[in-house]
Amino acid sequence: MGGVVGIPIGVAILPLINTQVFKAILGGFLVIWCPAMLLARRLPRITRGGRLADAVVGGLGGVMGGLGGFTGTVPTLWCTLRGLPKDEQRAIIQNFNLSALMVTMAVYLSKGLVTREVLPLFAVVAPAMLIPTLLGSRLYVGISEAQFRQLVLALLTGSGVALLASSIPALLRPMSS
């Protein structure tokens, strides 16, 4: 439910923010935080907060979804810090992402943010999402809890690098003019 509340907030904030700055901040956070979690001998375990904390994290995931489809970033890190087993993490994140991204798309459509010009891009996006999903499903079965954590954090780090790589040149461009 937190995600459902957060999505409209993220969509409302979207036109008010500099997307390049947002990408740089999120990318920087992921590039610093995820390797720190990877290198930690023992991750701190968050055991307090219960459903209220989970709802707040879901709300942040919803806001991130409304801002740019990043629904799973905060909940994934949260599940890792909660120390949940990989099967439970996967069930939570997959279901949260699927439902939050469907709601996000519905809100985007209702606000007119998805135009006809964008629709052909789905022909590129669909295989780009489907192929890694299928490969990940096969890989998941044969990996341990530790390998799962390492893979999740490495992929989030890679996402951070990609966000930084796409935002930093755009942020530096006005300064060099």
pLDDT average, residue stretch 146-171: 91
Task: Look at residue 80 in the predicted model and tell me its pLDDT.
Answer: 87
- What domain range includes position 159? 2-117+145-170
Count how many domains the chain has.
1
Task: Look at residue 9 in the predicted model and tell me its pLDDT.
Answer: 94
Q: Is residue 122 part of a domain?
A: no
Distance CA(110)–CA(86), nearest Å, equals: 35
Q: Is residue 7 part of a domain?
A: yes
Task: Look at residue 138 in the predicted model and tell me its pLDDT.
Answer: 85
Token digits for 25? 């901040």
Q: Is residue 124 part of a domain?
A: no
Tokens 């990408």 -> residue: 23
What band does 137 get if pLDDT is binned at 50, 70 and 90? confident
- Does 115 score more than 90 pLDDT? no
Distance CA(34)–CA(161), nearest Å, equals: 11
Task: Look at residue 77 in the predicted model and tell me its pLDDT.
Answer: 87
| pLDDT single digits (tens) 43-74 | 788 888 889 999 999 999 999 998 888 888 89
What band does 17 get if pLDDT is binned at 50, 70 and 90? very high
Q: Is residue 110 part of a domain?
A: yes
DSSP the chain: -HHHHHHHHHHHHGGGS-HHHHHHHHHHHHHHHHHHHHH-SS------SHHHHHHHHHHHHHHHHHHHS-TTHHHHHHHHHHT--HHHHHHHHHHHHHHHHHHHHHHHHHTT-S-TTTGGGHHHHHHHHHHHHHHHHHHHHT--HHHHHHHHHHHHHHHHHHHHHHHHHHHHHHHH-
Q: Is residue 9 part of a domain?
A: yes
Q: Is residue 140 part of a domain?
A: no
> Measured between alpha carbons, how far is residue 166 from residues 16, 33, 73, 130 in Å?
20, 19, 18, 23
Rounded to two decimals, the pTM is 0.79
- Does 140 score more than 90 pLDDT? no
Q: Is residue 76 part of a domain?
A: yes
Q: Is residue 136 part of a domain?
A: no
Backbone angles phi, psi at 48, to 5 degrees: -100, 170
